[in-house]
């Protein structure tokens, strides 16, 4: 995922260089902030999802792991689209 994030960062920086004068929302700082906040959200959200299902510790851990995998897959898809330019980021 780190290589993909690096490619996404590069694509966003290229896009900002081209379009930043017209739209400040394309600034790379937003991708950086988004990544940091995404990590915190996933940690908190998956903990809640795992804990509120009840059951044994292993069942809770399994739900947390499943949640994290789903969120990670979604984030990878998003970053791939950004890195490939299919989201208009460069």
Q: What does the pLDDT read at residue 37?
A: 97
Look at 23 and 16; give whichever has higher pLDDT: 16
State the DSSP H helix or E strand holding residue 38, giving kind and residue range, or none if neither. helix 28-51
Q: How far is CA 12 from the centre of its chain?
A: 14
Label residue 25 by pLDDT band (50, 70, 90).
confident
Q: How far apart are CA 7 and CA 76, in angstroms?
A: 12
Residue 26 in contact with residue 15, Cβ under 8 Å?
yes
- CA atoms of 90 and 12, how far apart (whole Å): 6
Residue 90 pLDDT exceeds 50:
no
Confidence (pTM): 0.81
* Whether pLDDT at 72 is above 70: yes
- Structurally, what CATH architecture does the domain formed by 2-84 represent? Up-down Bundle (1.20)
């Amino acid at each position: 995922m780190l290589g993909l994030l690096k490619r996404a960062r590069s694509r966003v920086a290229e896009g900002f260089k081209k379009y930043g004068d017209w739209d400040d929302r394309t600034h790379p700082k937003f991708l950086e902030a988004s990544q940091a906040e995404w990590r915190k959200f996933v940690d908190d959200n998956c903990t809640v999802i795992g804990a509120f299902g009840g059951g044994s510790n292993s069942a809770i851990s399994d739900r947390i792991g499943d949640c994290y995998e789903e969120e990670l897959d979604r984030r990878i898809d998003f970053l791939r689209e950004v890195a490939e330019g299919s989201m208009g980021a460069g």
